[in-house]
Structures are given as structure tokens and as C-alpha cells.
Amino acid sequence: LLPPLRVAVTGAAGQIGYQLVTRIASGEMLGKNQPIHLSCIETPQGMKALRGVVMELEDCAFPLLKSVSATDQVDKGFADADFAILVGAKPRGPGMERRDLLASNAQIFAEQGRALNKVASREVRVLVVGNPANTNALVAAANAPDIWAEQITAMSRLDQNRAITQLALKMHCDVAEVERVIIWGNHSTTQYPDLSHALVRGEWIRPRIDEDWYRNEFIPRIQKRGAEVIEARGASSAASAANGAIDHMRDLWLGAGNKWLSMSVPSDGSYGIDACLWYSVPCLCPGAHFRRILELPVDEFSASMMERTRKELIEERDAVRHLLPRDYERIISM
């Protein structure tokens, strides 16, 4: 067995958190030879439910779980964290504008960025799940000057998984036979699920894709899948979101060979995306880190789709500008 690593999860008593913590503790995220200390973080109101979650974790007797702690203090919860999964966020309340939601959540992520900067391991890998995830990641990174911005990523893996399955259903193949599906941009309804480079059983399938299905069924279905699940379940995606977080962190940390994986990462200016936006791009994961896949050809349709989601991320950034330090671009580019 390896020396234990410390994993912090915010919003651990919420829908996604409840699904996530058992899977982390069972070894699905960091591997079956990796013992862990789990640090669960909640709001003061969430602490009672969190005590129940901790009891259940104890009741699982997971061999890899060395300790579990519960707190409503981020400075305590993130102390020495090797991984931090930021799930906790405010849901949209009645009559709340998107702008208000952005600002109140960004406030949370500014505080969490400062806390990570102060107490987490210098090597911490941070995954932002709480929405608006991309912009929350920007705010957290801008407030964590001593942590390399590339250690902070936001989740687009759920969108990628959704897109892979919809393509597999259409092509009557197994999900494992689908490769190189890309999610570009924001985790929102402007995201661009791109099949331009997709392979099925190793074969490039773009020329065989029905254009009407692609533009009028596939793309909108992936963009609005979250709402479709809410409509059916009466609650938002939780098991699949937790699964996306596990997939993202596992592949990032343990490596995923030559698989193309979409991750929202700080833009380096490639593909005409403004530096310092957390924009989903295809990456390779050799282990412990990601590498952007650069210089893919972008056709006219793709360019217009990528531009639309870029614009939305700029609007989101501008709405939370007051939470970004004046020199945030320097902090992120360091």
C-alpha cells in the first residue's frame, strides 16, 4: 500500500457529495492500493446531515479509508489536502437571476481559493463541480496565488460521458468503441459537444453522421441533458455527476493512455480562447497532469459553436470581476 493521501470534498452531504464520498472511499478514484484520509466539508446547516454521511462511511468499513472528518470550517477541511473536490454551491433560489447566482457562488469560491492557498498541499489537485463550474474555477484560482492555476480544473466529464453514450446509441455500438468525442467551452447550455474527430471502432465517422440528427437532436440533447434529468427525476443529476468527478480525477491522477478527455482548464490562448478562461478542451492525461491537445482543425460550424460558448464565459467573468484581484491574469499565467 502507498502512503495515505488526503481528499477534501465540499458539499459532502448534498446529492452529489453523498454519491461521491463512498466511491472515493472504496478506492474507485485513486486506486485500490491508495489509502486515504477523507475530509468532508459542509455549511453549518449541512452539518447534521453530514454526521449521518460520516456514520454511513464508518458502516461501510472501507479498508482504504484511514480516517473521516467533518467540518464547516474550510481552513480546517482543506488542511494538507492533496485533492479537493469543490461540489458545494448554492442552488438557484426562486426569483434569483443568473447574475445573482453567479455572484453568490463566486463569493464562496473566492473564499475557498484563499483557504486552499493558505492550508492545502502545494501539490493539491482541485476539481470544481459546483456551478457555474468554469467561472468558479477561475475565481478560486485567482484567489490562490501560490497554487499553479493548472492544478485547478473544472468538470466537463459528465457532458463527455453523456455525448459518448448518445453517439453509441445512434451507431449501435458499445460505449467502449467510441473515442475522441470532445466537449468545448462552458458547462452550460452553450457547450459544444463536437463529433468532428470522433472514432467508432477506430473509424472516423464524421462523414457518415446525419447532419440533421447532429445539429438538431444530438447537440441540443447534450446541452440540455441536465434539464431532461431534472424533469424526469424531480432532482438534478447526482449519481452521473459524481461518476464524472471520479472519472476526471482518476484519469488525471493515474493517467489514461492515449484517450482524449475533455476538461475545463485555464486557456493558454490556443484555439482563439482568451487566456485565463476555464474553457473545456480535449486533453491527454499521462498521469498526475493534463496536456492540451493542440492544433486540431476547426471547421466553420465548430468555430461558430466554440465562439458562442467563449462569449458566455466572458460574460460570466465580467459578472464576477469584483471578486478577481486586479492582477489576476498575472496570478493565473504564472
Q: Is 83 helix (H, G, I), strand (E, B) or coil?
A: strand
Percent helix, strand, coil in the chain, to 5, is 45, 15, 35
- The answer to whether residue 187 is catalytic is yes
Q: Among 63-71, 130-138, 196-204, 323-331, which window interacts with ligand NAI (CB under 6 A)?
A: 130-138
Q: Which of 30, 53, 64, 133 binds ligand NAI (CB under 6 A)?
A: 133
Instruction: Tell me the residue number closest to ligand NAI, measured at CB.
Output: 14
The rounded distance, in Å, linking the Cα atoms of 167 and 97 is 34
User: Omega of the bond prior to 132 within 30 degrees of 0, cis?
Assistant: yes
68 CB contacts (<8 Å, ≥6 apart)?
Answer: 25, 37, 38, 39, 40, 54, 57, 58
Q: Does 134 bind ligand NAI (CB under 6 A)?
A: no
Q: Which is nearer to ligand NAI, 131 or 302 (CB)?
A: 131
Q: How many residues does the chain have?
A: 334
Q: Which is nearer to ligand NAI, 108 or 313 (CB)?
A: 108
Q: Does 84 bind ligand NAI (CB under 6 A)?
A: no
- Locus of grid cell 497554487: 147
The rounded distance, in Å, linking the Cα atoms of 176 and 38 is 31
User: Which string of x and - marks every residue 147-186 that binds ligand NAI (by CB under 6 A)?
Assistant: --------x--x----------------------------
The rounded distance, in Å, linking the Cα atoms of 292 and 279 is 11
Q: CA 265 from chain center: how many Å? A: 9
Residues 43-62 contacting ligand NAI, CB under 6 A: 43, 46
Query: At its nearest, how many Å lie between ligand NAI and the CB of residue 72?
Result: 7
Q: Does 104 bind ligand NAI (CB under 6 A)?
A: no
Yes or no: say if 298 and 184 are a contact pair by the CB < 8 Å rule.
no
Q: Which is nearer to ligand NAI, 196 or 280 (CB)?
A: 280
Q: Which of 31, 91, 287, 325 binds ligand NAI (CB under 6 A)?
A: 91
Q: Which residues are catalytic?
A: 187
Binding footprint of ligand NAI on the chain (CB under 6 A): 10-11, 13-17, 41-43, 46, 87-91, 108, 129-131, 133, 155, 158, 187, 236-238, 241, 244
